[in-house]
Structure 1
Amino acid sequence: MIDRCRKLTVVLVASSALHLIACGALQPAIAGDLDFFGRSGNAIELDFGNLAGVPSGANFSGLSLSGFSGHTVRTSSELQQGSFASDGRLWVFPNPTRDTPTLGDTDPAARGFQGTLNGSLLIDGQPKKFSATVRPGYTGAGTGSVGQSLESLNDPANNRLFVAEQQHRLNYFGFVPQGGGSLVVDGVFGANTDEAVRTFQAAFVAGINTTQASVDGIVGPNTAGWLNAANAPTWEELIDPDPQVPGTFSVAGAIGDFDILPGRDPGTNARTGNTPQPERFGTSWAHELWRNGSAAAKTATSITQLMNAMSTFDGYGSSAAHSTHRVGMDIDMHTNSSTHNFGDGSTSRAEIEVISTAVAYIDAGASAGSDSGRIIRIITSNEDIYDGIRAARPGTALYLDPSSVHTHHLHLDVGSPTREAGVADTPGDFDFDDAVNGFDFLTWQHGVTASSLSSTELAAWQSNFGASPALTAQLASVPEPSTLVLLLCWIIPVARRRKQRSSGFVRNAPLAGVTVSPGACGWSCTWGLF
């Protein structure tokens, strides 16, 4: 409730006004009485007790979540943050596996779920509809980022809200417990959460022979920092963009930059391509290194690389055959069969090609961006190859395995990149569409932002108005500034009055008159809120 006169003056150059109209402010979409926004990788808070016009001591009941089917919603009572009946707080955790149009996802190209979910509740007995619109991405700093207070397995001091945020972010990134499956987002740090946390931790620790047993499973500042990092790893299946026809696989028939060695067919034990390689999973960092290194190696040697093994779908399953392949940061790379020996002191052409391939991966990791891993060690049992790599790249750690285990492939240990700080949402982008425009003013005015109807949030919106990654592309044709400003001054009052009729809690008085005047840097539109 705005209880005193405020003046809002927005100075718009023609490009900013064009941006507002291009974003569709002429046709605001109102899904319910109360419209909230958040990101797919975040715990999205809906704080009904903080809404403008909701009196202190209000009662919240009759919560209906039928429109949230397949997604997780936890109240303050469930997460031990208070009592929902008296504070009206809940959190939405969008299910990242509901990422297809048939399951309601409106942006299948983006990671996780995007779309609008609808529910209802009673506030002091008055029925209210609400919606939560889920935008792409995740927040790495400030509101929406993952919190921590040293959560760990079965610790009674765990903060349940923080645990739920951690569980949801791990789900969003694709990290799973032993045996697979998504974590239940319930705020309880049990065995499954511990297993997924350990795989995630071991990925960013990424030392030589690191496994889940090498880390502590405690979500402290470093682990939370990586959960919020702009370049956090995801757990993924490696996809061959141009695979051989199933049933016809052969090493000699490898095509493209790389192929994936198939699994063995049941019964025949043959590798025909009908059975997928079970160890084809790993971190996005390792996959990016593999793709970049394979492309560089193909250019250098004209040879298509063959990936023998990474990790199983959960990481843990690799322990049977590859005890160190459990965290998606190890790659076994096939080598020419003529090099499957200990070496004889004379470097053959095939060995030179293996050396050149190894150098390509080393260099690809060294020059890649922050979303790629890097080579921290290579293992081989062939001394000729070992000597060749050492001579070409003396700064790379190598291990000459005296056994025959690494005669038929190179083992690549992958290290993590330098962590990039988490990114906060743009101040004033209240609907999380990555553009600060007229829709954000309406969202602020409807009182559903973190600090309902605060002057600080309004100032942030004013300061960042027009910010958008796509703004430059929208300036191909610029109408007359005066026309645009007149449209703007008409859009917001009309949209505001529409919303007033749809909501019983945000009750601002009618707008005062609108004035338009030219300024030194553009046109200004001024209206009063009383």
Structure 2
Amino acid sequence: MRHPCAMLLLFAASYSQAALCLAVDYQFYGRTGNGIQIDFKSRLGVPSGATFSGLSLSGFGSHTALTSSNLNQGNFLVDGQLWVFADPARNTPSLGDVDPTSRGFQGTLEGTVLVNGQQKSFAVTVQPGYTGAGSGSVGQSLEAINKPANNKLFVAQQQQRLRYLGFVRQGGTPISVDGDFGPNTDAALRTFQAAFVAGINTTQSNVDGIVGPNTAGWLNAANAPTWEELIDPDPQVPGSFSVNTMIGDFDILPSRDPGTNLRTGLTPQVERFGTSWAQDLWIQGSADAKAATGTTQLMNAMSAVDGYGSAVSHSTHRVGMDIDMHVDASTWNFGNGVTSAAEQKAIEIAVNYIDAGASGGLDMGKVIRIISSNQDILAGLNSMRPATATYFDSSGGHQNHLHLDVGSPTRLAGLVDMPGDFNFDDQVDGKDFLVWQRGDTINPLSGSDLALWQSIYNASVTAAVTTVPEPATLLLLILAGSCWILRRSAL
């Protein structure tokens, strides 16, 4: 005779077969910017004193998994714990990413493990985002390069968050997640630190390279910076670049072509990278300046792909918080005490960037200083926006552009995961009950977890336009509850 639970599940298959009948023995969930903790010992049906071996990660590709033994957190053989670190670079459908619009990798990773010698399958569903507080957030105990007392788990979490945010080693390639705080991790961390310190002329050499409470706080911050390539949404046709035919809100000055030394647009600007804070400021300021003056802006330089490789003449452009903005050729002088029309336009354009940063919120940097070799422009800025620092470069090195020093926003505290959201999809709904019912939460079949889910789910339903669940959701909850009762009685 067929088991009653199986009959109920067959009846519900037309609604959500995948939700009720998973093809693996153990299911786990976590966020792509986290180290996702996997605890086989806590799964339903795993006997006390079980041993764990034969870990196979054939379905993981270049994603990383480190056991408690790898990270000096215990002995995998007896505790069955490991941490999964999703590779942010595998962010296309061809590489298994199911949500290419979200940062990093989202998808399902599968493997097997021997529990008391019996093979069990498991899957890890990787969801978007990262956790900024509580379980899943980045830990710290003053980790630093080659420090013997480094907590390897904390280092791995720090490495994962840095590469998720896009900060790279010197040379521009992603850092590895291995729990070892070496030169590559140090290089990426220092760029990140210098970005949030964001003092005038701050570079990697001005920070301490130690992950203490402040640095961990920024790694966990809801408005942590990302390292990005600046993209021109409407570039000029390659090979025909001209400052006289600029289009859109902004263009990016190309690098010089090898051989001819001309800027035709065939060679992309090397220094087109920087923090999201600086780039958001540039994009918004350019849009505002275009609306106010009708002029398309030209970005001369930000930072190289790794920050460290910026030109010698741009020695302060190393942490993605500096922007060189082209000005009209008629202003390429030291000024004569009389503000020309072109100089006035340069002043008005710069004011738009200052104002954009001042009103841009906590995801955008702000202009903290402007450098120019034209005293007329600086005098106008001092008059219109006296709170913004200016600096006169008497060498003439800043005649053809304004240099914008960008400051960091106020840190926004990291966000804890939503209570009751057991599958980390940022919703508390019937799917979370199914996760709980299968014993796939961090604390399987916890009564307090169920009560928490119920209180939040009931509140969200009450707040909705209708308090009647969709038929499919209601049926799934009834069936899942029935199966849970049967399952519990069978244990």
| TM-score scaled by length of structure 2 | 0.93
| Deviation for aligned residue 1:447 | 2.5
2:7 aligned partner: none
Q: CA offsets, 1:96-132, max 9 Å, x none?
A: 0000000000000000000001101111122111000
Does the aligned pair in 2 maintain the 1:25–1:438 contact within 8 Å?
no
- 1:343 lines up with 2:335 in the alignment: yes
Which structure exhibits the higher relative contact order, with contacts defined as CA atoms closer than 8 Å and separated by 6 or more residues?
1
* Pair 316,467 (structure 1): closer, same or farther in 2 beyond 3 Å: farther
Q: CA offsets, 1:418-458, max 9 Å, x none?
A: 00000111111110111112221222233232223222222
Correspondent of 2:357 among 365, 368, 379 = 365
1:273 aligned partner: 265
- 1:453 lines up with 2:442 in the alignment: no
RMSD: 2.2
> Match for 2:354: what amino acid?
I
| Deviation for aligned residue 1:313 | 0.2
Aligned equivalents of 1:319, 1:194: Cα separation in 2: 21
Correspondent of 2:228 among 223, 232, 236 = 236
Equivalent positions of 1:174-253 (< 5 A) are 174-253=166-245
2:5 aligned partner: none
* Pair 486,181 (structure 1): closer, same or farther in 2 beyond 3 Å: closer
1:492 aligned partner: 480
Equivalent positions of 1:403-482 (< 5 A) are 403-465=395-457
| Deviation for aligned residue 1:399 | 0.4
> Does the residue aligned with 2:422 lie in a helix, a strand or coil?
coil
Q: CA offsets, 1:5-53, max 9 Å, x none?
A: xxxxxxxxxxxxxxxx9x9589535141111001110100110112233
* Pair 359,102 (structure 1): closer, same or farther in 2 beyond 3 Å: same
Does the aligned pair in 2 maintain the 1:319–1:326 contact within 8 Å?
no
1:121 aligned partner: 113
Equivalent positions of 1:37-56 (< 5 A) are 37-56=29-48
> Match for 2:273: what amino acid?
F
Which runs of 5 or more structure 2 residues have no equivalent in the other structure?
Answer: 1-12
Q: CA offsets, 1:181-206, max 9 Å, x none?
A: 11110000000000100000000000
Aligned equivalents of 2:459, 2:85: Cα separation in 1: 28
Aligned equivalents of 2:18, 2:329: Cα separation in 1: 67
Correspondent of 1:396 among 367, 383, 388 = 388
1:509 aligned partner: 489
- 1:73 lines up with 2:61 in the alignment: no
Does the aligned pair in 2 maintain the 1:25–1:491 contact within 8 Å?
no
Aligned equivalents of 2:92, 2:233: Cα separation in 1: 21
1:64 aligned partner: 56
> Does the residue aligned with 1:487 lie in a helix, a strand or coil?
helix
Does the aligned pair in 2 maintain the 1:379–1:400 contact within 8 Å?
yes
Q: Greater helix percent: which structure?
A: 2
* Pair 381,28 (structure 1): closer, same or farther in 2 beyond 3 Å: same
Does the aligned pair in 2 maintain the 1:436–1:466 contact within 8 Å?
no
Does the aligned pair in 1 maintain the 2:430–2:477 contact within 8 Å?
no
> Does the residue aligned with 2:488 lie in a helix, a strand or coil?
coil
Identity among equivalent pairs (%):
64
1:311 aligned partner: 303
Which runs of 5 or more structure 1 residues have no equivalent in the other structure?
Answer: 1-20, 501-506, 511-529
Aligned equivalents of 1:413, 1:69: Cα separation in 2: 41
Q: CA offsets, 1:143-187, max 9 Å, x none?
A: 110000000010000000000000000000000011111111000
Does the aligned pair in 2 maintain the 1:237–1:280 contact within 8 Å?
yes
* Pair 312,482 (structure 1): closer, same or farther in 2 beyond 3 Å: closer
* Pair 486,391 (structure 1): closer, same or farther in 2 beyond 3 Å: closer
Does the aligned pair in 2 maintain the 1:282–1:328 contact within 8 Å?
yes
Does the aligned pair in 1 maintain the 2:271–2:302 contact within 8 Å?
yes
| Deviation for aligned residue 1:369 | 1.4
1:94 aligned partner: 86
* Pair 485,296 (structure 1): closer, same or farther in 2 beyond 3 Å: closer
Does the aligned pair in 1 maintain the 2:434–2:477 contact within 8 Å?
no
1:17 aligned partner: none
1:260 aligned partner: 252
> Does the residue aligned with 2:435 lie in a helix, a strand or coil?
helix
> Does the residue aligned with 2:314 lie in a helix, a strand or coil?
coil
Q: CA offsets, 1:341-395, max 9 Å, x none?
A: 0001111000000000110000000000111000000000100001000000011
